[in-house]
Amino acid sequence: MLRKGYGLASVELGVPMRPDMVFEIASLTKQFTAAAVLLLQERGKLAVSDDITKYLPDYPTHGRTITIENLLSHTSGIPEVTSLPEWWPRHRDDLTPP
C-alpha cells in the first residue's frame, strides 16, 4: 500500500500534506459505497431493491419499506447524522490522538 501525502494541507500557509494527517473525507465515500453495492448486486449477493431489514433486521423502519436503492439515492427518510445536535460535539472524538 502506498503511504504518501500529496498537495497542501493548507494552501494559505503552504503546509504540505503528510500521510499521518487526519481529515474528514465526508461525501467522497459515497461513490465507493455505491460501486461496492453494485458489484455485490452483479455477483448476486444482494439487490438494490432489497429491504434493508433483510440485512438489518432490528433497524427501526417504523413500518416503512426502505430499500438499498433508497439508501444510495438518499430517499430513505433516515435523517442525516449531521442534523443531530449531539453529533457535532462528538464527531471528532475518535480522531483526536490520546
Q: Identify the active-site residue in 10, 27, 73, 83.
A: 27
Percent composition of the chain: helix, strand, coil (DSSP 3-state, to 5): 35, 5, 55
Name the helix (H) or strand (E) containing 9.
strand 8-10
Q: Respond yes or no: is residue 83 known to be catalytic.
A: no
Instruction: Identify the three-state secondary structure at position 82.
Output: helix
State the catalytic residues.
27
